[in-house]
Amino acid sequence: MKTIDTKSYKTFKDGYYNNFGGRFVPPILENKLQKLMETFQFLKSDKGFLTEYYYYLKHFVGRPSPLFLANNLSKYVGSKIYLKREDLNHTGAHKINNTIGQILLAKHMNAKEIIAETGAGQHGVATATAAALFGIRCKIFMGRKDAERQAMNVRRIKLLGAELITTERGTATLKDAVDVALEYYIENPDSFYLLGSQVGPDPYPQMVGFFQKIIGVEAREQILQTENRLPDSIFACVGGGSNAIGLFHEFLDDINVEIHGAEGGGLGNIPKKTAATLSFGKPAVFQGTYSYCLLDEQGNPTDTHSIAAGLDYPGISPQHAFLKESGRAKYHCITDNEALEAFALLSKLEGIIPAIESAHAIALACKILKDKNSISIINLSGRGDKDVDREMALE
């Protein structure tokens, strides 16, 4: 057995995960975020708040999500693989875990308007769903390119009563949607910004991580009940990092459990044609936090490409940046073609159509677990309805 002090893997102090994190925002947002942080710190330990949160997770979201033994995939790979079925949540992805938590927080703070960014559209759908549930006005910001390639989710957002605002800025993807949403937030600081991934200024990374850790809490309990032991390894796709940290968090202190993140590699290590931030990026301040970012030669955030809208982002969670530098987790570049192959593979072998984002994690697991005869968990973060009608092979 390895003997390593792992306490630091979960250490969060003064807005930072070791050297990564912080709050780099205009003065107009400083007091707003400080109040948000103080309210969150109080509510995350409040019995009444947690009871309400878990009530909605059970009766509205449909938790716990199953841990499914993928027998056919296991035989194909030569290793025992379980899928954490976040695709079976209400709205079809892990995003709803966080939006329910934050909407309850917004309700406690008497918010009158919810704003959010979205790439793949799943966070937009989940936010619009939560806003509809609690009767709060909602605006969703989305890049035009993402709105086109995730047209089904655009229709769902509008059906749920939210206002969709698209932007032509930059590459018209997630990065640009975040920029526009942050600008709106600066101009309208009384709005509640319901950020969807584990990025942005403090306290968002710790908040999103807290509301998503239910994935790992359940998965750890489920695998112990099923196998009477922990897995040898766990896998998740990584864009901003919320579904991944949701699974990873509860296994961080289990040093014998290998942790692997699959990044949106696009066309590989080609400038502006990849979104594999931890594989090819460098530490920098970006959109309110200090973490890894894909940069151009002048040190500015660069354009990115991934077939998966939810991974098409040049930044990354500050906690994932720390996990990379500490060596606790390993992050890998998965190309568009590898993800497409895994998308078709899981569909044909298991009758489960994954989100193209989640297919990156399937692809990585297939590569690493080949003939290993081990036990692993893959976080199936979303379902692929939104991707079925896309001409993905042509992107």
Catalytic, 75? Answer no
Nearest CA to 80 out of 375, 395, 388, 377 is that of 375
Q: How many CB atoms lie within 10 A of CB 222?
A: 18
Spatial distance between the Cα atoms of 301 and 64, rounded to a whole number of angstroms: 38
Evaluate if pTM is beyond 0.85.
yes
Tokens of 242: 């919320």
Left (φ > 0), alpha (ψ -120 to 50) or beta: where does 69 sit? Answer: beta
Q: How many CB atoms lie within 10 A of CB 253?
A: 14
pLDDT given for residue 7 in this prediction: 54
Catalytic, 330? Answer no
Spatial distance between the Cα atoms of 185 and 85, rounded to a whole number of angstroms: 34
Spatial distance between the Cα atoms of 268 and 287, rounded to a whole number of angstroms: 24
Query: Which listed residue (80, 95, 139, 324) is catalytic?
Result: 95
Bridge pairing between strands 258-266 and 330-335: parallel
Nearest CA to 86 out of 116, 64, 53 is that of 64
Helices and strands (H and E) in the chain: how many: 16, 14
Spatial distance between the Cα atoms of 292 and 320, rounded to a whole number of angstroms: 9
pLDDT given for residue 2 in this prediction: 36
Q: What CATH number has the domain spanning 16-57+95-209?
A: 3.40.50.1100
pLDDT given for residue 367 in this prediction: 97
Spatial distance between the Cα atoms of 77 and 69, rounded to a whole number of angstroms: 13
DSSP states along 272-292: TS-B-HHHH-EEEEETTEEEE
Q: Which one of 3.30.1330.40, 1.20.1050.10, 3.10.450.50, 3.40.50.1100 gives the CATH number of domain 63-92+213-394?
A: 3.40.50.1100
Alpha helix segments (H runs only) across the chain: 27-43, 47-56, 71-77, 95-108, 122-134, 144-149, 151-159, 174-187, 204-212, 214-227, 242-248, 277-280, 318-326, 336-350, 356-368, 385-388
pLDDT given for residue 189 in this prediction: 87
pLDDT in tens, the chain (395 residues): 333 344 567 778 889 999 999 999 999 999 999 999 999 999 999 999 999 999 999 999 999 999 999 999 999 999 999 999 999 999 999 999 999 999 999 999 999 999 999 998 999 999 999 999 999 999 999 999 999 999 999 999 999 999 999 999 999 999 999 999 999 999 998 899 999 999 999 999 999 999 999 999 999 999 999 999 999 999 999 999 999 999 999 999 999 999 999 999 999 999 999 999 999 999 999 999 999 999 999 999 999 999 999 999 999 999 999 999 999 999 999 999 999 999 999 999 999 999 999 999 999 999 999 999 999 999 999 999 999 987 675 45
Query: Which listed residue (86, 117, 258, 350) is catalytic?
Result: 117
Nearest CA to 285 out of 260, 321, 242, 256 is that of 321
pLDDT given for residue 12 in this prediction: 82
The helix (H) or strand (E) run that includes residue 379 is strand 375-380
Q: How far is CA 134 from CA 6, 8, 226, in A?
A: 40, 38, 37
Tokens of 385: 């309805």
DSSP states along 179-195: HHHHHHHHH-TTSEE--
Query: Which listed residue (145, 306, 381, 386) is catalytic?
Result: 381
pLDDT given for residue 390 in this prediction: 79
For the chain, how long is the longest CA-to-CA vector? 56
Q: How many CB atoms lie within 10 A of CB 169?
A: 15
Catalytic, 117? Answer yes
Q: How many CB atoms lie within 10 A of CB 186?
A: 14
Q: Where are the domains of the chain?
A: 16-57+95-209, 63-92+213-394
Work out whether the CA dihedral 84, 88, 93, 94 comes out positive or negative: negative
